[in-house]
Structure 1
Amino acid sequence: MNTKDQAEGLRRLHRRPTRVIAVASGKGGVGKTNVVANLAVGLARLGESVMVFDADLGLGNIDILLGLAPRFNLSHVIRGERSLEEILVRGPHGLWVLPAASGVASMAALTPAQQANLIDAVSRLNVPVDYLLIDCAAGISGDVLTFSRAAQEVVVVLSNEPASIADAYALVKVLSRQYGLKRFQLLPNMVRDAAEGKALFARFCSVADRYLDVSIGLAGAIPLDPALRSAVRAQRAVIESAPGSPSAKAFGALVERVRTWPMPEGAGGQLAFFMQQWMQPEPASPAS
């Protein structure tokens, strides 16, 4: 199947618009996947049709956080052993999960041919969804940059410590200067309270406003509390296991805020938008 045929197949995939949100972080260990899990469950609880694409292709663990045990994952699709329909698993409240591999180094650096195979598989996937949440790997690897620039919204998760702040800034800088992204949503995670989250947001924006031509919104602030730790150990979303906890209430506010984000102009239908953007060639890096 050539690129033109792939594109036509993807255009036919779905007609209803889908919100495509990439959740990324400059540094690992900031709770990014936990954010994805709670956002997905929160949306699904409200009747939204949700799919989580575990784009940490070689070290995926969204299935673990949701208490799932998939038999197959994207590595089986890449090897031609299974279709996407066969690896899709149902999570809480009927949300869908496309699980990644764990501990498969080759999945972290797919070749163009392997990417084409995955595109072909997605073009045949017939699962209408309202939200596609992309759980990106941490850092600024090629896969992270590709998935982020394909999304309509990029949520950057960070914690209030120097390395996380510096790496989050580096991610926004690369996506802005090399890929032309101009709008980001910042989500302080594991903070003491909303006031600390707002202060972190203000500090980040003061630097970004000085050196980058971007617009940054505050998606919310997630406090770290004992209920959140317990939920992770129990492999459940805290928004369900302890709905009255500070972190669950913050995730609930995040869900409501995400539902109010306007659909960007020119957004395509369903997964077709995401995959068509993914197929575009990477722009050349600007001259230094």
Structure 2
Amino acid sequence: MSPPLGSAAVSQAADIRGQRTDGPRDGGVPTLLVASGRGGAGSSLLSALLAVSAAGDGQRVLLVDADDFVGPLALMLGAVPRACWADLRGGRATPADVATPVSATLTLVAGGAMRLADTGAATTINAVERKACMRRLGALTDGMDLMVIDCGARLDAVLSAVTPHRGERLVAVSAGTDPVGLAATYALCKAVRQRHRTLPVDVLVNRHEGSDAARCYDAIDAGARQFLGLTLRLAGAIPADPTLDAALRAGMPFPDAAAGSPAAIAAHDVVMRVLAARPSSRSGA
């Protein structure tokens, strides 16, 4: 069992400076694939917090909303994209077309339905097309310090976003200590592990802190060790933040609502550990 959250031992467990030796060796911009095992765990909110906190620290961040149905991040950030990543399908748009500046250091690639589709053209996108579109987004990472991809609760979104490269890792969001929530997070880790055995996996506990967060991580990690031969890392814990929730419900812009909030501070700590572990060689460096 891991010691209580907040102790020196857990600080080491939470430190994601990746000591794995079995992963890909090529460089690449540090990339967080933020995903959950079930809807409502908060992957979109956490993706936005991770991206905004890093961008506010002067890091150049590319935030990708991998949802091709709703695409909530544009609305959350108050961005008005001309096109979304699905518009890359069939060459309707270029990577530059789907990049929407949110601030001097934050760029959003919106999700949601295609905006540039021809009248009468199919609007659904299959797995092969999704993967091809995600690969084309790599053109936008030159000069970036961090890439955050909100994969939501869809396994196909995670699998299509995996490159893989040494700076890439899955961040499995768990939002509860209930058995169903824990099982859903474990199932996500298992499904990704079966297809990408070298992809590092971290657990990010949402809406819990202290001993509750430690129990959540311990339960998932124990299952992964026993049944998958996989050692998980604790990325951190994001506390419940009623003030942030109330500010967002009141319509306050996300960066203003998040500034200085307990949730944003915790997200910043997660990002700084990731950036401290960036690969020594980077594409385009």
The verdict on a shared fold, with TM-score over 0.5 as the criterion, is yes
> Partner of 1:85: helix, strand, or coil?
helix
- Correspondence 1:135 to 2:146: no
Q: CA deviation at 1:242?
A: 5.0
Equivalent residue number for residue 4 of structure 1: none
Q: Give secondary structure in 1 for the equivalent of 2:148.
A: strand
**CA deviation string 1:126-156 (max 9, x = no partner):** 852111111113132x332232463611111
> CA–CA distance in 2 between the matches of 1:123 and 1:146?
13
**Which blocks of at least 5 consecutive residues in structure 1 are unaligned?**
1-14, 272-288
Alignment CA distance shift 1:268-1:107 (3 Å): farther
Query: Is the partner of 2:207 in helix, strand or coil?
Result: strand
Contact 2:142–2:283 under 8 Å retained in 1: no
What is the match of residue 274 of structure 1? none
The 5-angstrom pairing of residues 215-234 of structure 1 reads: 215-233=231-249, 234=251
SS in 2 for 1:78: helix
3-state secondary structure, aligned to 1:215: coil
Aligned to 2:94: 83
**Residue identity in the other structure for 2:161:** F
Q: 1:217, CA displacement in angstroms?
A: 0.9
Pick the aligned partner of 1:213 from 229, 236, 243. 229
Alpha-carbon spacing, 1:24–1:181, altered in 2? closer, same or farther (3 Å): farther
Counterpart CA distance in 2 for 1:49 and 1:87 is 17
Say yes or no: does 1:189 pair with 2:194: no
Percent identity for Structure 1 against Structure 2 = 26
2:11 aligned partner: none
Quickly say closer, same or farther: Cα 1:235–1:133, change in 2 above 3 A: farther
Count of matched residue positions in the alignment of Structure 1 and Structure 2? 250
Q: Could you tell me the TM-score, scaled by structure 1's length?
A: 0.75
**Given the alignment of the two structures, is residue 27 of structure 1 paired with residue 38 of structure 2, yes or no?**
yes
How far apart are residue 64 of structure 1 and its match? 1.4
* Structure 2 CA distance for aligned equivalents of residues 133 and 201 of structure 1: 22
Name structure 2 gaps, 5 residues minimum: 1-25, 116-121
Q: In structure 1, what is the Cα distance between the partners aligned to 2:160 and 2:133?
A: 16
Distance in 2, Cα, partners of 1:204 & 1:126: 32
Equivalent residue number for residue 214 of structure 2 = 198
**How does the TM-score come out when normalised to structure 2?**
0.76
CA RMSD of aligned residues (A): 3.0
> How far off is 1:124 after superposition?
5.5
